[in-house]
Amino acid sequence: MKKYIIVSLLAAFFIVGCTDLDEQVYDKIDANEFYDSEIGADAALASVYALIPGNWDGKGLIGADRGYYDLNNMSTDEQVVPHRVTGDWEPDFAWFHKRMWTPGHGFINNAWNWLYDCVFHANLAVELLENANADNEVVAEAKVLRAFFYYLLMDDFGNVPFFTDNNLTVDQIPQKSRAEIFDFIVTELEDNVAFLSEEKGGSYYGRFNKWAGYALLAKVYLNAEVYTGTPKWQECLNACEALEEGGFSLHPAVSDASHPNGNTYFELFGDQCPDDEVILALYIELDVVGRNITTIRSFGGTDGALLFGETVSTWNGTIIPTEFLNQFDDIDIRKRQFRYGSEPFGPRPAGFIVYDPEEDNYIDPGAERDGGARSMKWWPAGTVNGGGASNDFPIYRYADMLLMKAECLVQQNKAGEAKPFVDQVRERAGLDALNADPTLEDIYNERSKELSLEGHKRQDMIRFGTFTKAHGEDENGDPIVPAVDSHYELFPIPTAAIDANPSLQQNTGY
Amino acid sequence: MNQKMIHKRENVLKVLFLLFVFVNACFIQTAHAESGRSDIYSMQQNVTCSGTVSDELGGPIPGVSVIVKGTTIGTITDINGNYTLSDVSNDAILVFSFIGMRNKEVAVNGQITINVTLEQDMIGLDEVVAVGYGVTKKMDLTGASSNISTDDLNQGAVTNPLQQMAGRAVGVNITQVGSEPGSAPSVRIRGITSLSGGNDPLVVIDGIQGDMSMFNQLAPSEIENVDILKDASATAIYGSRGAPGVIIVTTKKAKAGHKSIEYSGSYSVDMLANKLDFYSADEYRSQMAAWQVPGEVDHGADTDWYDILTQIGSTQNHTVAFGGGTGDFNYRASVSAILQEGVVINSSNNNYIARLTATQKGLDDKLTLTLNMNNSIRQNVGSPSGVGRAQFTGNLISNAYFAKPTDPVYDVDGSYYYDENVFQYMNPYAVAQEVENDREEKSMFTSLRADLEIVEGLKAGWFGSWRKVSEESGYYASPKSTLYSAMDKDGIANVRSNFKEDRLMDISLNYDKVIGKHKIAALAVYEWQRNTYQGHFAQSKGFINDVFTYNKLEAGSEGSIDLGDMTSYKNDRTVVSVLGRVNYTFNEKYLLTASLRRDGASVFGDNYKWGNFPSASLAWRVSEEGFMQGQDLVSNLKLRVGYGVTGNQQGLYPQASLLLVEPSDTLFFGGEEIKNFRINQNANPDLRWETRKQLNLGVDYGLFNGKVYGAIDVFSATTDNLLFSYDVPRPPYPNPSMYANVGSLVNEGIEFAVNYIPLKKGDWEVNLGANFSLLRTEVKTLSGKIGETVIDTEIVSWGSYNAFLKEGDAIGTFYILQNAGKDNSNSELVADINNDGTIDTGIRSEDRYKAGQALPKYNFAFTPSVKYKNFDLSMVWRGAGGNKIFNYIKKSFSTYENLGKSNLLKTSSNTGLSTTMYNSDLWLEDGDFVRFENLSVGYTFNTDRLKYISKMRLSLTGNNLAVFTKYTGLDPEVDVSGGSGSGADVGIYPRTRSFSLGLNVTF
């Protein structure tokens, strides 16, 4: 009997001692605990910004391969990564450039996923900051960020699911019309931008201060007609006027032999964006925060080591279509951002590649290895390697605002008032002033040259009605990119999103 | 060797033998004395009996126990099968018994010489087999399980014990994808039970529970028995880990009174079994010319990259084992080395294992203590995986396909050739030579079992085991390797350590009682387990030269430390269980087993911390009934029925149910670079085990006096609460997918196993074994709820190449676009099946059509063996079919847009495709195959005249001798695990064909 007692006691001891099944967490933090703490709310706002720079996997605003930037730029007439006759690069970029995209295309899915990740974290930041009774300034910043993401979503996809509270189920998240989203964005910005900090640079570098907020508001109004059918030119002008208080000016453009592109104009695209002109910058430090691949992805293999550093291997990817290149005047200092021919802009070390600016074949059999002019607008700065460079990226800058003002004035039949704004931009680029009042076409062309590769082209083409037109010309005189119907002005909602939520309504035509 | 020495040894041997007999005699005598029976002393007219015990072939059987029936008086036969038993009563009956033989009883009747021939027990009903937490006699089994004993294991160049079991157990599919040194085969018992929750069976080696990596610690030659529990009534005793089946391994133990020294070894030559047909340099040039690829990409060489990267490999296997003991103590120790040199250059695996088991009895034999210790060191040099360029990433050897035959290996200056003009150019030979990829895994476990007989029939047990696996790896990629990351960063070096700890403790009570015709065995167990996972990683870049490799990380350049270059982690899992089982047998004919287990686990979500796993099974030994006597058609017949509920928690990783924040990348905020913290996953407090309910009907049969025997099983299993990574809508979830228990699937199958002994006479013994299984899977539902979110879906992707899970279809059903030729720019066209004018590539696309499934519908094996005199021969033929394979390698190397960039398959000229936007059925092929897996011929030497050698066998084995298949890829056995490449051939490490010479000697 004694044995039984000992055994049962022993058993009881172990059983009582070892039934704790609460999960121990050693290397992470419970989310509620973290966000309830003081650092949690700040961290929530900061981690929204963490999502903006691009990295691999198609995430981020710019810098990454196959994400939002490629979606909005490879689809325009200003750049393409062609398939090469030597076998390099699959034709997926070229297909995209030719507007052969389908809802299953990776760029589309990547951009969608990235943007909704941003919305979720912006919602989280708003909620946490409001709960923590944070300053209006900080809450407003989170709300403006969220409006920014909805603006990007609505701009690309039209009617999109809308939610500002994360604790919802999918059936509580309606797909709202583009116009409804537009109203939300406008209201949110009008209510909050005034609270934003007026500080420029320093701890507000790369953040939405008041001026960046007005720039965003102006952008939303500028395209209002596309989004809602009703133009908002005066509202756009008002936002641009409000922004003037920030004291912006065009960054000087003078010859500068020390810069590879030979002009101080290109400081706008250097390691850090100058805050005289740049209203909102994206901070990039390669391998730490984001990456800027624009130039590394463009140049041919051997040029990398010759021009950017011994171990830098460049990708021989992006080229500038001939037609786009040809719109630049030879004296236009902005033409120095392109590299082609035997006497190119920039350094000419022995053995540099002579790029042939005339390239009209992107898929079958593909471009020649040295075919197509290359982009060096962001001459690699800061830390550089084969994975990219550290150039910051201007999201909004004053030259854009000037041209927006001009556009609104021309739309309001005040072309005479618009002229000085256009001329300012032209003269900085080394061109003469216009000899007549600007037309919409003048403004379109000026935007195209001034803001090339900066991520505005798709929006501009749609607003000016050129997006679905044919462009380029091949050896048979046929367009390289044939005209398409207007449904291509919206991207399709990605297949994966519809697969996960079949109640989503696909955009017309897809 | 002089006569004197031989003489001396002979004497030693004699002394040892005498000692052996003496110890046995003592044991039997002691047992007798203790039994306290004295009636035999009253017997009159006692005689001395002697004789020889032999087998059917006339060979003597040593070690047969000869006991006077009803007493414990007895002896055992000597080396020559002789025995002598004195003082035996005239009317006594002698019982002769030996494992694997039928017992024989002979009445003495005054005879002084009794020679006996024992017959082999073909069915082995008396064999003891392992069930969970105990053993039972095979005849008492009520569940479905397969037993493989050491003699049935496949021979040859074996590096992992699982390879020995391939084809040997019906319903147990052991698949080896490629022959990479150190790579383990995958095992699926009765198909796939879970979609992503893990399908690896639970492995139990001498009571220690663990995952498949336990097999790395087990020397193939040290296995005594393998029992594979298949149906839920058998595995429910393992509760939330039992659903994928259980493999129970019992290792060899020393027998009391036996001393043995054994050596077993083999050496094999491994060669490529198959090679894909790619263009030679000249053929490539003419292709380039034909498709107007500019000559600038032709670098004038003639290189067979595949040839350069492969070699003839070898596998060696050596084990020395010894053991011995007395009545209350015995031990066995062994040391093994398994040394493998791969067929791809610079890939190898060396595994060294040492083990010791010791058993001591005490307290008048009421207490048994068993210690088990095992240490192993595994050193692996891995062929780099995941290398390549943006367009093609894979293992190193598949990059040999990518490399152009017109590119040289070396540049004129003697460095590795590198083409700067090509985006992310890679020279695979440089990678093989200039990347160090070393791994060392140290495993140790120790367990102690204590069994105490409290009163007769009642036993208490305590078992504790502690296993620790430390994996340490070092990696260095020199900039010379031509890997773009290494060139970019001037060399990358890292070291990584992962530690895994499994601790288990259980306390058990066993009760056995026979009351007349009723036999009861009951078991109760409390069990506690904790698995801890921990590790760290450090990386540095930018080295002045290649001297340090990964041995001096601080030699990397200042400021080269990026995000992710330093990491560490720790998490754990605790499982607490109570379980009970009752076995009841009536009249040796009617058997009932019932069990219940209750499991709680820390990894389960807050709303489901505990689960119950019951089972019950019945068996009827029909052949024991009176009406079955007096006929010789059916010698054994047993009907079984079982039902059980099991679980699977493999797919539940620690912390998966919680909403957690973790440090991630660096961000720029407030004018400085700061650390980002963010939510890393979607929370799911409802996360729990998968539940599998299985019904099994089985028949064990023996016909024609046991000449034909086997089993037939039919089962139907439903897995509910399927764990799967569902694409959840974003919004509202921050992450695009999450693990949730949604949906259910059904597995149904029939398994036939048959053995036929057509000839067993004189010098001949022929055994024909065969098995065949049919498996049908069906996805029942995928829809369900995650919290409040309704997951309403009838189809999700399975793998990444057109295989899907769709309600009503088999797991991994292909829905694929149909090739419709090509357009005039040679771009692939596919059929617009729904005629809506567009090609939809979405998963619900109506342009897709159903084109078979990725999982084989049937599996079969044929395992004949023949013995003639000293020769033995055995074969394994194995096959599967009814499945399709998406040949991604063929797709990748068949379009001429890649000319100039990569080599192409010769078959590419048949299609003449320039490019394709689709993964169409052009690349979908039949996966049926028959493999001549193993042929082994052995010769056992006559050791009668050898003084010190009691057994010696020499064997020659061929592995993977032939594959009969229509599949055009390298090998038809591809990954069907459910991961990202499932059902597709994405490029495997080559499968080898090997020839090995083996030697087994027992001293």
- On whether any CB of chain A is under 8 Å from the CB of B729, the answer is yes
Same-domain check for residues B468 and B491: yes
The pLDDT of residue B731 is 63
**B569 to chain A: closest CA residue:** A27
Examine the pLDDT at B4 and tell me if it is beyond 50: no
**A138 to chain B: closest CA residue:** B670
Say whether A86 and B572 touch across the interface (CB within 8 A). Answer: no
Q: Which residues contact B558 (CB under 8 A, 6 or more apart)?
A: none
The secondary structure of chain B in percent helix, strand, coil, rounded to multiples of 5, reads 15, 50, 35
Q: Does residue B474 form part of some domain? A: yes
- On whether any CB of chain B is under 8 Å from the CB of A368, the answer is yes
Q: Is B605 left (phi over 0), alpha (psi -120 to 50) or beta?
A: beta
Q: Among A472, A456, A485, A487, which residue's Cα sits nearest to residue A73?
A: A456
Examine the pLDDT at B8 and tell me if it is beyond 60: no
Query: Which of the 8 DSSP states describes residue B200?
Result: P
Task: Determine the length of chain B.
Answer: 1003
Which CATH number is B231's domain given?
2.170.130.10
Examine the pLDDT at B22 and tell me if it is beyond 80: no
Same-domain check for residues B113 and B136: no
Say whether B727 and A496 touch across the interface (CB within 8 A). Answer: yes
Q: Among B311, B447, B423, B455, which residue's Cα sits nearest to residue B372?
A: B447
Say whether A369 and B526 touch across the interface (CB within 8 A). Answer: no
- On whether any CB of chain B is under 8 Å from the CB of A35, the answer is yes
Looking at chain B, the whole-number percentage of residues with pLDDT higher than 70 is 93
Tens digit of each residue's pLDDT (9 = 90 or more) over B427-449:
999 999 999 999 999 999 999 99
Examine the pLDDT at B469 and tell me if it is beyond 50: yes
Same-domain check for residues B524 and B505: yes
* Contact criterion met (CB below 8 Å) for A339 and A376: yes
**Least CB-CB distance to A120: which of B662, B680, B734?**
B734
Examine the pLDDT at B16 and tell me if it is beyond 50: no
Q: Quote the domain boundaries for residue B240.
A: 128-251
* Contact criterion met (CB below 8 Å) for B851 and B804: no
Q: Is B571 left (phi over 0), alpha (psi -120 to 50) or beta?
A: beta
Q: Does residue B34 form part of some domain? A: yes
Examine the pLDDT at A277 and tell me if it is beyond 70: yes
The pLDDT of residue B174 is 87
Which CATH number is B9's domain given?
2.60.40.1120
Say whether A386 and B840 touch across the interface (CB within 8 A). Answer: no
Q: Could you say which residues from 653 to 712 on chain B have a Cβ atom under 8 Å away from some Cβ of chain A?
A: 654-655, 657-662, 664-674, 676-680, 683
As a three-state string, the secondary structure of B594-635 is EEEEEEEECCCCCCCCEEEEEEEEEEEEHHHCHHHCCCCCEE
Q: Among B753, B798, B809, B751, which residue's Cα sits nearest to residue B775?
A: B751
- Amino acid identity at B60: P
Same-domain check for residues B242 and B299: no
* Most confident stretch, A127-136, A216-225, B647-656, B803-812: A216-225
> What whole-number distance in Å separates Cα of residue B642 and Cα of residue B618?
6
Say whether A289 and B665 touch across the interface (CB within 8 A). Answer: yes
**A281 to chain B: closest CA residue:** B668
Examine the pLDDT at A171 and tell me if it is beyond 80: no
Number of domains composing chain B? 3
Q: Could you tell me which residues are beta bridge partners of residue B598?
A: B578, B612
**Least CB-CB distance to B460: which of A7, A46, A365?**
A7
* Contact criterion met (CB below 8 Å) for B151 and B952: no
Q: With cut-offs at 50, 70 and 90, classify the pLDDT of residue B34.
A: very low
The pLDDT of residue B39 is 41
Q: With cut-offs at 50, 70 and 90, classify the pLDDT of residue B569.
A: very high
Sign of CA dihedral A378, A383, A389, A390: negative
> What whole-number distance in Å separates Cα of residue B510 and Cα of residue B517?
20
Same-domain check for residues B232 and B283: no
Could you identify the residue written with the tokens 């000087």?
A: A252
Residue where a domain terminates, one of B95, B117, B139: B117
The pLDDT of residue A31 is 84
* Contact criterion met (CB below 8 Å) for B241 and B202: yes
Q: Could you tell me which residues are beta bridge partners of residue B13?
A: none
What is the pLDDT averaged over residues B970-977? 87
Using DSSP bridges, classify how beta strands B202-205 and B246-251 pair: parallel, antiparallel or unpaired. parallel
The pLDDT of residue B37 is 39
The pLDDT of residue B102 is 72
Same-domain check for residues B277 and B410: yes
Tens digit of each residue's pLDDT (9 = 90 or more) over B613-666:
999 999 999 988 888 888 888 888 999 999 999 998 888 888 888 888 888 889
> What's the gap between Cα B619 and its chain centre?
29
ipTM score of complex: 0.90
Tens digit of each residue's pLDDT (9 = 90 or more) over A363-415:
888 999 999 999 999 999 999 988 899 999 999 999 999 999 999 999 999 99
Same-domain check for residues B300 and B404: yes
- On whether any CB of chain A is under 8 Å from the CB of B296, the answer is yes
Examine the pLDDT at A176 and tell me if it is beyond 80: yes
Q: Does residue B208 form part of some domain? A: yes
Q: Among A321, A394, A375, A378, which residue's Cα sits nearest to residue A93?
A: A321
Say if residue B519 is exposed, middle or buried (CB neighbours under 10 Å; 0-12, 13-18, 19+).
Answer: middle
Tens digit of each residue's pLDDT (9 = 90 or more) over A411-463:
999 999 999 999 999 999 999 999 999 999 999 999 999 999 999 999 999 99
- Greatest CA separation found in chain A? 113
Tens digit of each residue's pLDDT (9 = 90 or more) over B815-828:
999 999 998 888 89
Nearest-neighbour CA in chain B from A44: distance (Å):
8
The pLDDT of residue B41 is 41
Examine the pLDDT at B36 and tell me if it is beyond 60: no
- Greatest CA separation found in chain B? 110
Say whether B666 and A300 touch across the interface (CB within 8 A). Answer: no
Helices (H), A98-250: 106-131, 136-157, 178-192, 210-222, 224-228, 233-244
More confident of the two residues B947 and A322 = A322
Q: Among B276, B339, B338, B271, which residue's Cα sits nearest to residue B310?
A: B271
Same-domain check for residues B597 and B708: yes
Nearest-neighbour CA in chain B from A182: distance (Å):
18
Same-domain check for residues B451 and B569: yes
Q: Does residue B731 form part of some domain? A: no
Q: Which of A422-431, B309-318, B568-577, B777-786 has the lowest mean pLDDT?
A: B777-786
* Contact criterion met (CB below 8 Å) for B934 and B874: yes
Q: With cut-offs at 50, 70 and 90, classify the pLDDT of residue A480.
A: very high
Q: Which of B274-278, B308-312, B792-796, B967-971 has the lowest mean pLDDT?
A: B792-796
Examine the pLDDT at B1 and tell me if it is beyond 50: no
Examine the pLDDT at A11 and tell me if it is beyond 60: no
Q: Does residue B256 form part of some domain? A: no
Q: Chain B interface, mutation test: which of A86, A150, A154, most B Cβ atoms within 10 Å?
A: A86
The pLDDT of residue B75 is 83
Q: Among A87, A340, A373, which residue's Cα sits nearest to residue B294?
A: A87
More confident of the two residues B60 and B261 = B261
- Joined tokens for residue B591: 């058997």
- On whether any CB of chain B is under 8 Å from the CB of A205, the answer is yes
What is the pLDDT averaged over residues B741-756? 92
What is the pLDDT averaged over residues A327-333? 96
The pLDDT of residue A5 is 56
Average pLDDT, chain B: 87
Reported as type and span, the H/E element at residue B232 is helix B232-235
Could you identify the residue written with the tokens 């093989």?
A: B432
Which CATH number is B891's domain given?
2.40.170.20
Same-domain check for residues B377 and B487: yes
Q: Which residues contact B766 (CB under 8 A, 6 or more apart)?
A: B757, B758, B759, B760, B864, B865, B866, B867
The pLDDT of residue A14 is 52
Nearest 5°: the CA angle B970, B394, B300 is 80
Examine the pLDDT at B164 and tell me if it is beyond 90: no
Chain A hits for B826, Cβ within 8 Å:
364
**Least CB-CB distance to A104: which of B570, B654, B842?**
B842
- Joined tokens for residue B981: 């490449």
The pLDDT of residue B121 is 60
Examine the pLDDT at B340 and tell me if it is beyond 90: yes
Q: With cut-offs at 50, 70 and 90, classify the pLDDT of residue B175.
A: confident
Reported as type and span, the H/E element at residue B46 is strand B46-54
Examine the pLDDT at B274 and tell me if it is beyond 60: yes
Residue where a domain terminates, one of B54, B83, B117: B117
Q: Could you say which residues from 402 to 421 on chain B have a Cβ atom under 8 Å away from some Cβ of chain A?
A: 419-421
Residue where a domain terminates, one of B251, B272, B295: B251
What is the pLDDT averaged over residues B891-902? 90
DSSP per position, B420-476: TTSTT---HHHHHHHEEEEEEEEEEEEEEEEEEEEETTEEEEEEEEEEEEEEEEEEE
The pLDDT of residue B38 is 39
> What whole-number distance in Å separates Cα of residue B151 and Cα of residue B769?
14
The pLDDT of residue B120 is 65
- Joined tokens for residue B285: 């040039």
Examine the pLDDT at B2 and tell me if it is beyond 80: no
**B678 to chain A: closest CA residue:** A47
Q: Does residue B674 form part of some domain? A: no
Q: Chain A interface, mutation test: which of B459, B506, B678, B735, most A Cβ atoms within 10 Å?
A: B678
Query: Which of the 8 DSSP states describes residue A304?
Result: I
Q: With cut-offs at 50, 70 and 90, classify the pLDDT of residue B43.
A: very low
The pLDDT of residue A104 is 83
Q: Among B762, B854, B860, which residue's Cα sits nearest to residue B809?
A: B854
Q: Does residue B737 form part of some domain? A: no
The pLDDT of residue B458 is 93
Examine the pLDDT at B30 and tell me if it is beyond 90: no
Helices (H), A18-59: 31-36, 38-49
Q: Which residues contact B149 (CB under 8 A, 6 or more apart)?
A: B127, B224, B225, B226
Same-domain check for residues B157 and B205: yes
Same-domain check for residues B506 and B579: yes
The pLDDT of residue B942 is 87
Q: Which of B59-68, B108-117, B426-435, B532-541 has the lowest mean pLDDT?
A: B59-68
> What whole-number distance in Å separates Cα of residue B579 and Cα of residue B598?
6
Helices (H), A352-451: 398-411, 415-428, 440-450
Q: Does residue B484 form part of some domain? A: yes
Examine the pLDDT at A170 and tell me if it is beyond 80: no
CB atoms within 10 A of CB A502: 12
What is the pLDDT averaged over residues B955-962? 93
